[in-house]
Amino acid sequence: MSWRDFWNSEHSIYVNARHKLLHYDRIARDLAAYVPAPDAAVLDYGCGEAISAASLAKKCGTLYLFDTAPNVREKLRSRFSDHPKIMVLSPNGLDNIGYASLDLIIANSLLQYLQHREFEDLLDIWHGKLKPAGQLVLADVLPPDLDAIADVKALLDFAWRGGFLLAALAGLGKTFFSDYRRLRNDVGLTRYAPEDMFTLLAAHGFAGEQSPTNVGHNQLRMTFVARKA
């Protein structure tokens, strides 16, 4: 099983409906701060189920949603088929977005599931799609020294403040025996030190900086903002 297979399956990464809702609400709220103008064209690449995308779309002119998992795309189409500002892209839909036409590209909680070569290929694609003054937001990036225990502590803190602590504790027990844990151990997660990220961005035509805060609840992870160099 690959990470793409995992996200395409019926998984239990969210411990209950409240966890899922609060997770996506927090992400949409944090990402909205990066939208540069009410008429901005925004791409959320690897968006997942994006159940709070409608609130992010209020800040945009057009919000494109893209995910490589077919089952996730079907859920997105079902949820947002009638939304006037949201377009769910097909597997080849990115080809239909014009050169230098996007104001903002978001990749949130994505890079850890990609190999380095996959990420570099995407950087080249994204560079071509962004306007000269557009920006790329790479969020929830794992640093080299972050371990699973730190992620668990961050989740429990989020659960305590969000009112689903008991469900989170039960969910952690399920995760211990889940495909997610096996994949994390067998396939691993891709990590980046800040200096390596800056070097990689520069090699693909971007100038990047680290944001003082991460998108989402886990502030031990990192967000980078990049613009065309």
DSSP bridge partners of 147: none
pTM of the model: 0.92
Mean pLDDT score of the chain, rounded to an integer?
91
190/169: higher pLDDT? 190
Q: Confidence class of residue 169 from pLDDT cuts 50, 70 and 90?
A: confident
197/174: higher pLDDT? 197
pLDDT at 177 over 60: no
- Compute the distance between CA of residue 145 and CA of residue 128 in angstroms, rounded to an integer: 32
Report how far apart, in Å, the C-alpha atoms of 92 and of each of 13, 67, 121, 186, 221 are.
Answer: 28, 11, 15, 30, 31
Domains annotated for the chain, with CATH where assigned, are: 3-228 (3.40.50.150)
Question: What does the pLDDT look like over 22-57, one tens digit per residue?
Answer: 999 999 999 999 999 999 999 999 999 999 999 999
Least confident of 105-119, 152-166, 171-185, 187-201: 171-185
Q: Confidence class of residue 5 from pLDDT cuts 50, 70 and 90?
A: confident
Over residues 82-110, the mean pLDDT reads 95
Question: What does the pLDDT look like over 129-149, one tens digit per residue?
Answer: 999 999 999 999 999 998 888
Count CB-CB contacts under 10 A for residue 37: 11
